[in-house]
Chain A
Amino acid sequence: MTDTALPTTESSAPGVPLAAISVRSAGKIFTVAKGAEVQALTNIDLTVAPGEFVSLIGPSGCGKSTLLRLIADLDSATSGEILVFGKTARQARLDQEYGIAFQSAGLLPWRSVQANIELPLELHGVGKTERAARAEELIELVGLTDFRSRFPDQLSGGMQQRVAIARSLAERPKLLLMDEPFGALDEMTRERMQQELVRICSETGAAVVFVTHSIPEAVFLSDRVVVMSPRPGRIVDIVDVDLGPGTERSDSLREDGAFFAGVTAVREALHGAPVTPRGADLR
């Protein structure tokens, strides 16, 4: 049911694709007031294959967001090694190897939808016409064609988040890092966004690391669900989910036996209770 075995071979070997992310016994210690230390993450090992969708799930304080921030080089690990496409996290950030989206859309309120999507391209010196063309594609991809010249305050939360996702895809990254991007959305919008995300990701072939604390969300979206536990933050289990290719995942899947089985498996891993699975095979 669950599978903790990780492909451990680091792959500079010819023929074997380079892992999108490779985390080796990484740890993070935060120094808080008066020199006290908090062990946010300890002994993290995780490999994400190219094109793979991996969710990080766990209760608050389990360090899932911290792990994402370490991969993004928004914080740096105090121990261990983090490689993104074979480069250090810092180099990968400088080389713009990933796109990122946060829980709050983080759009610039004084920029239109289009200008917000163009932001990363603009910062990296892409020409005006090329920028506009790429923004056009992305606006269509996320279904905001009629809202191109609107401003963020004229959009609903779900629409803002779609703009943020379009922005994270602007530079065609092979890796997407998402920190609870749907956390603030209502359930209906959330399900629709999940479906769109899973479609977009399988179309673009990007690997995704997706932080969430919703079990159904993690199961619906992922190829693998990484279950984490707090104090100190660590990986307790990795659940394989196989719900078929992203392009074919639809609403009906949410009522499918395989989906429920996945939910159960993740639940059990989260609660640490070795309840005997009731016959459902995930694969």
Chain B
Amino acid sequence: MSDEQRTVKSVEAAAEHPESGLLGTVAIDPTAPALFSLPAEAEATGGRAAAADRRRSVARSVLPPVLLGVAFLLLWQLAVVAFDIKPYLLPSPSDIVGQIFIVLPLLWSSLLATGLNALIGLVLGGLIAVVLALLASRVSILDRMIVPIVAAVAVVPIVALAPILNTMFGSTSDTPRRIVVLIVVFAPVFINTLRGLRQVRPVHRDLMRAYAASNWQLTRTVTLPGAVPFIFTGLRIAAPLGVISAIVAEYFGGLQNGLGSRITSAAANSAYPRAWSYVFGAIILGLVFYAVTLLLERLASRRRA
């Protein structure tokens, strides 16, 4: 059947579909290496040659930044040794790596503590944002009420809020940190979700009206599934912010169990290589959050024609 040959073509054509313009903000690069490609697509492109192709393109996209990073570390090491830079100004990468191995168990546990705060804040903030966006998209009065409040929430200075929350919840609690993350995460997820909920195509609206579908059915079968990629885009933007806020929130006292508190206490004790090793942990944590949410976003966006 000639239609089968056309299938592949239509996939390409889908990229030019007018609707894909709406996704401009989602920032999905269709030319990016197909790390998460579907079984069906893999089948279509046909077997081993494609797999080799993919491996090559991954190598091409992964290798250059790795090489650059290694070169940078080497230069750093050389500079520190050659100019005899004191550790309190800039410790060498080898000192930092040495410290990482020494503090590894503590680094791991503080990474988990901060990571858990960020995760809880992200999930709760995301859920609240999605629910409120749903309400705002359905009820226009709520829309007018919520949107200005979101603008206010978006500009709350977490640096000022963290100490206040510490006094409110006591210094032995992780709650203030989680609330800080929640507040930071809320705005980007809310704004993206609301945008997604408003992207319903007229043809789908007509179709659901022709089916005499209820409002709730419209939301459940069309509006919400259509907004899913937008929700995950919001989460992808919010996740690294959430990690940063979880760390910064620890600078204002309270429990000494996370990366932020370890960085401040190491710096206070002039243990600069140790402080840097925790900074390294913070970078890893941020990258993990970013990578996972990016993966989720791609999975959620794969079915947008």
Residues of A within 8 A of B (CB): 69, 72-74, 93-94, 96, 98, 100, 102, 104, 106-110, 119-120, 122-124, 146, 150-160
Q: How far is the CB of B204 from chain A (nearest CB, A)?
A: 6
In the bound complex, residues from chain A placing their C-beta under 8 Å from that of B206 are 69, 74, 100, 102, 106
- Give the complex CA separation of A108 and B205 in angstroms: 11
How far apart are A94's CB and chain B's nearest CB, in angstroms? Answer: 5
**In residues 154-206 of chain B, which contact A (Cβ within 8 Å)?**
201, 203-204, 206
Please tell me if the beta carbons of B212 and A158 are within 8 angstroms of each other in the complex. Answer: no
Binding site for A on B (CB under 8 A): 3-4, 6-7, 9-11, 13-14, 40, 44, 201, 203-204, 206-213, 217, 221-222, 225-226, 228, 303-305
B221 and A123: CB pair below 8 A? Answer: yes
Q: Are B211 and A109 in contact (CB under 8 A)?
A: no
Chain A residues within 8 Å of B9, by CB: 156
* 8 Å CB contact of B210 from A72, A153, A157: A72
Identity of the chain B residue whose Cβ is nearest the Cβ of A151 in the assembled complex? B303
27 CB contacts below 8 A, A to B, read: A73-B209, A98-B210, A100-B207, A100-B210, A102-B203, A106-B203, A106-B206, A106-B207, A107-B305, A109-B303, A109-B304, A110-B226, A110-B303, A123-B211, A146-B4, A151-B303, A154-B7, A154-B11, A155-B7, A156-B3, A156-B6, A156-B7, A157-B10, A158-B3, A159-B6, A159-B7, A159-B10
CA distance A157 to B40 in the complex (A): 19
Contact in complex: B209, A154 (CB < 8 Å): no
B215 to chain A, nearest CB (A): 12
Q: Report the Cα distance A123→B304, complex, angstroms.
A: 22
Across the interface, do B210 and A150 meet the contact criterion of CB distance under 8 Å?
Answer: no
B213: chain A residues within 8 A (beta carbon):
123
CB-CB under 8 A from B217, the residues of chain A are 123
Q: Per a CB cutoff under 8 Å, which of B10, B201, B211, B212 touches A156?
A: B10
How many interface contacts (CB-CB < 8 Å) are there between A and B? 82
The docked-state distance in angstroms from the alpha carbon of A93 to that of B225 is 25
Q: Which residues of A contact B11 (CB under 8 A)?
A: 153-154
- Complex Cα spacing A151 to B7, Å: 11
Partner of B212, one of A94, A110, A122, A155: A94
Known: A96-B212, A108-B225, A159-B7. 18 other contacts (CB 8 A): A69-B206, A74-B209, A98-B210, A106-B201, A106-B203, A106-B204, A106-B207, A108-B221, A110-B228, A123-B211, A123-B213, A123-B217, A151-B303, A153-B10, A153-B304, A154-B10, A155-B3, A155-B7
B225 touches A96 (CB 8 A): no
A155 shortest CB reach to chain B, Å: 6
| A177→B52 CA distance, assembly (Å) | 49
Q: How far is the CB of B70 from chain A (nearest CB, A)?
A: 40
Bound: A100/B303 CA distance, A: 24
With a CB–CB cut-off of 8 A, which chain A residues contact B209?
73-74, 93
Known: A93-B210, A96-B212. Contact between A154 and B40, CB under 8 A? yes
Report the separation of the CA atoms of residues A177 and B151 in the bound assembly, to the nearest whole angstrom. 45
Q: How far is the CA of A7 from the CA of B121 in the complex (A)?
A: 69
Complex CA–CA separation, A96 to B212 (angstroms): 8
A120–B208 alpha-carbon span in the complex (Å): 9
Q: Which residues of B contact A100 (CB under 8 A)?
A: 206-207, 210
Chain A residues with CB under 8 Å of B228's CB are: 110
Closest 5 CB pairs of A and B: A156-B6, A106-B203, A153-B305, A109-B305, A156-B10
Contact B10 A155 (CB under 8 A): yes
Please measure, in the bound complex, the distance between the C-alpha atom of A109 and the C-alpha atom of B9, giving whole angstroms. 17
Give A102 Cβ to nearest chain B Cβ, in Å. Answer: 5
